[in-house]
Structure 1
Amino acid sequence: MRLSFLFLLAALLGAASSAPAQNLVSDKNKTKTKTVSLSRTPVKGKVKVVTKKPVAAKKVEAVPVIVFRRTPCFGTCPHYEATVFSDGHVSYIGYRYVPLTGPHELKIPVATVNTIMDDARRLNFATYEERYSQGSTDLPATILSIRQPNGQLKTVQAEEGTPPELEALMKYVAAEIEKVSGGTNAAADR
């Protein structure tokens, strides 16, 4: 019995190796159809193997050129952050005491972005200290990050004692962001 089983197995394997196998390319998507026969008489069944098209790479979003944040205080200070890209696209998140709360996509003119970047270069933004504070505990911070020519973000946090020209730049950025976000709800803005 074992011997007849082995002969039958050998016959089947021999027939399979000598049977014709066809690979057909049926369309431009490279769908392959493969017919496999295990005996000398062809079998009508087909197995389709579909190869998927390569997935297109995700578009890499540009890096932000400006990041602007206003932090909370113990009062009604506006609390939000805005990430600005060179094309004027703004990713905004409003937290408290602002008309727009939650995440929003906004747009400012490219000329405004260029003006901010030019002013930062003119002021040599990279040379400012990382933090301006004189020890007060209830002051909100204004945090401005500017992408430098070397690709790094330079961040300055200002609470009090900020040089006037830097404070003017920060007020300008805040005003432009608040124009497109609806202003602030705070009675006493910094």
Structure 2
Amino acid sequence: MRLFLLLLLATLLGAGSAPAQNLLADKNKAKTKTVLLGREPAKGKLKVVTKKPAAAKPATKKVEAVPVIVFKRTPCFGTCPHYEATIFSDGHVTYIGYRYVPLTGPHELKLPVATVNTILDEARRLNFATYEERYSQGSTDLPATILSIRQPNGQLKTVQAEEGTPPELEAFMKSVAAEIEKVSGGTTAADR
């Protein structure tokens, strides 16, 4: 119908009729019809575009940098707090509480940037990259504390501690847990 009206309009204007061209305008296969009026394409071009309604664009995702600290506490056969926290350099924390914590499910939290920097400075002071990947003596009912720190070379160094952990590393992991638990509401478990 539209094509007929355009051709009628072109005839009435005295330009004569010209063939219509169907072009694919985009990946949605919307149709673009171009009708040439007259012999000089630069002057007498009339372009009518018919498109399908554009789909709603998805909400733009927040582009996040890579995490600088990832901290996890695993479950045990008792009431050990079970959660994980992914910390970014701006203090943004993606937290998931599983069991025996006041905050369960996924949450977005915030740590002061100074706290994040203090944790990273302490990791450098302890030379965190030199610790073994796992400290375990074979017990099966102990929870693990897993700490990953982004190193200056961009690699993520991960240490899993169950038992037999060097005292300075154990104290460091407890201090990281304490900072996370300040913003997540602590733990509900009596045995940590």
Q: Deviations over 1:107-161 (max 9, x none)?
A: 0110100000000001110000000001111100000000000001000000001
The 3 A distance-change label for structure 1 pair 75 and 115 is: same
- Does residue 1:122 correspond to 2:125, yes or no? yes
The question of 1:63 aligning with 2:66 is answered yes
Q: Is the 2:82–2:97 contact (alpha carbons within 8 Å) kept by the matching residues of 1?
A: yes
CA shift for structure 1 position 33: 8.8
Measured in 1, the distance between the counterparts of 2:47 and 2:155 equals: 58
SS at match of 1:126: helix
Partners of 1:73 and 1:182 in 2: how far apart?
A: 20
Alpha-carbon distance in structure 2 between the residues aligned to 1:174 and 1:127: 21
The structure 2 residue matched to 1:77, chosen from 77, 80, 96, is 80
TM-score using structure 2 length: 0.72
Alpha-carbon distance between aligned partners in 2 of 1:91 and 1:182, rounded to the nearest angstrom? 14
The aligned runs of 1:36-115 (5 Å cut-off) are: 36=36, 47-48=48-49, 60-115=63-118
Q: Which residue of 2 aligns with 1:180?
A: 183
Q: Give the aligned partner of residue 167 of structure 2.
A: 164
Gaps of at least 5 residues in structure 1 are 1-13, 22-31, 39-44
Q: Which runs of 4+ in 1 moved over 6 A?
A: none
Kindly state the Cα deviation for residue 58 of structure 1 after the two structures are TM-superposed.
5.7
Query: How far did 1:37 drift?
Result: 5.5
- Greater C-alpha Rg: 1
Q: 2:18 aligns with which of 16, 28, 39?
A: 16
Q: How many residues align?
A: 154
For the aligned residues, what is the CA RMSD?
A: 2.8
1:60 Cα offset (Å): 3.0
List alignment gaps of at least 5 residues for structure 2. 1-15, 22-31, 39-45
Aligned-residue identity in percent = 82
Give 1:66's aligned amino acid.
Answer: I
Give the aligned residue type for 2:49: K
TM-score w.r.t. the length of structure 1 is: 0.73
AA aligned opposite 1:97: Y
